[in-house]
Structure 1
């Protein structure tokens, strides 16, 4: 399983259920990486997303009877397909990153205010593998698990 996360230089990953920045290159990277794939998000993240065409979306929620237009609700992490890309938010990362073999971490090169933060413990057990993209606005680094996933 893969997780993809974008953070600011000061560790912010969200504000009021959305992204607190506009970074066209990061959005394009996200689209290229997730297009045609399965993704898993939490309810708050799902509600903050624009329509994501071309992806099969799973919403990991404590309310499996909730209806999510264009997505499938699941309440058990074991029901998330193994080939899904974990796309947040923070509680979903906490739950799913231990099952991931790869993390794709975008750093948006600015400091912003927010209410949700990157947890550096998510990187425990991972080693930087390569810088995938680097611009004046952002960088994307791939991390691989250095040992077996849990």
Structure 2
């Protein structure tokens, strides 16, 4: 008895500690937070790293403008690629979870359909048997009434 309770508690703790549990707790109307927070953290990082967000962009008069834009592209690419990869991984996990839930629901519905189909087949067999009995009864009554009249 205690082992069952302990096992259930351990299962609950494992579920809560998983990343998928965290993703399941995010409501659909809270996704905007991700799209607001990510640019905020990027801007905060760039302001700390470069002193000022505007200081990253080179002046138009510079000779090495292409090199500076390349550095800017490398910096932004280095920041955004892992973040976007992480966000796409989160969405992939959410999609897999939704597909698992839908698959469970569909399998339950399929099982109910099978049960109902079996009941329907039994009802049709019973109806066929009753129809055969009625037909035989009608044939017997017809022959009996034909003998009396004839």
Structure that is richer in helix per residue? 2
Structure that is richer in strand per residue? 1
TM-score under structure 2 normalisation? 0.18
The higher-RCO structure (CA 8 Å, 6+ apart) is: 1
Q: Which of 1 and 2 has greater Rg?
A: 2
